[in-house]
Amino acid sequence: MEENKNEVVETTEDTKVEETKTEEVKKEDSESAKEIEHLKKLLSKANSEAADYKKQLRSKMSEDEVKAAENEALLKELEEYKTEKKVAEASKGLMTWGLDSAKADEMARSLVDGDITSFLAGGKEYFETVSQKAIADAMDKQKLSIGKTPEKADVDKAKDIEMRKIMGLPIETK
């Protein structure tokens, strides 16, 4: 029986040890659960902060993109003003030659845009007009010679009109 007592004692001690271990495991599990819960809260908080930073970054990128677009628009507007200033200066210079403002603007725009062909065509047209006007003015200044008969004056006038038609000059009757 003593052996049985020892066995019982051992069994009781084993049970107590097992109960103690079980309690320790429960405490550890409880502590682990608390720690896991705490870590979950921290993870949730970190995820929330990361989402906030991501939103801020997106809004910041949007603001930067908006600023970049505004800067691009301002640069484009500045270039347009520079071009218009060059056109105005060139037009002013061409008007000093005697061109009307519409033709001067057209030729200045061609010059600034680098369209030399259009510029030269406009210049050729202008100089042809000027030379025709100069010839017409010279012919208008001619006076009938003294001593011509009216018939001879009429013949000269008819030749003058015919010459003007051939040259494409305006026909003026005086």
Residues 134 and 162 in one domain: no
**Same structural domain, 114 and 155:** no
Q: Are residues 127 and 58 part of one domain?
A: yes
**Which DSSP category does 170 fall into?**
P
Contacts 24+ apart (CB under 8 A), 92-101: 97/126, 98/130, 99/126
Q: What's the structural domain count of the chain?
A: 2
Looking at the fold, whether 110 and 172 belong to one and the same domain comes out as no
Gap between the Cα atoms of 28 and 140, Å rounded: 123
pLDDT at 40: 87
What global pTM score does this model have?
0.45
Burial of residue 156, with CB atoms counted within 10 A of its CB: 0-12 exposed, 13-18 middle, 19 or more buried: middle
81 plus 161 within the same structural domain: no
Of the candidates 106, 114, 173, 95, which has an alpha carbon nearest to the alpha carbon of residue 139? 173
Residues 172 and 117 in one domain: no
The boundaries of the domain holding residue 151 are 143-174
Mean pLDDT of the 44-64 span: 83
pLDDT tier for residue 174 given thresholds of 50, 70 and 90: low
Looking at the fold, whether 64 and 147 belong to one and the same domain comes out as: no
Q: In the predicted model, what is the mean pLDDT of residues 67-82? A: 90
Examine the domain organization and report whether 128 and 160 are in the same domain: no
Shared-domain flag, residues 67 and 148? no
Chain centre to alpha carbon of residue 117: 28
Query: How far is Cα 132 from Cα 128, in angstroms, rounded to an integer?
Result: 6
pLDDT digits (tens, 9 = 90+) for 113-149: 999 899 899 889 888 888 888 887 777 666 544 455 5
Q: What is the mean pLDDT of residues 12-24?
A: 67
Whether 147 and 134 map to the same domain: the answer is no
Amino acid found at 58? R
| Average pLDDT across the chain, whole number | 78
The tens digit of pLDDT for each residue in 32-52 reads 778 888 888 988 998 899 888
Q: Is the dihedral of CA 122, 124, 127, 132 positive or negative?
A: negative
Is there a single domain that holds both residue 100 and residue 70? yes
Are 32 and 112 part of one and the same domain? yes
- Give the percent of the chain with pLDDT over 70: 76
Quote the pLDDT of residue 39: 82
Residue 77 has pLDDT above 90, yes or no: yes
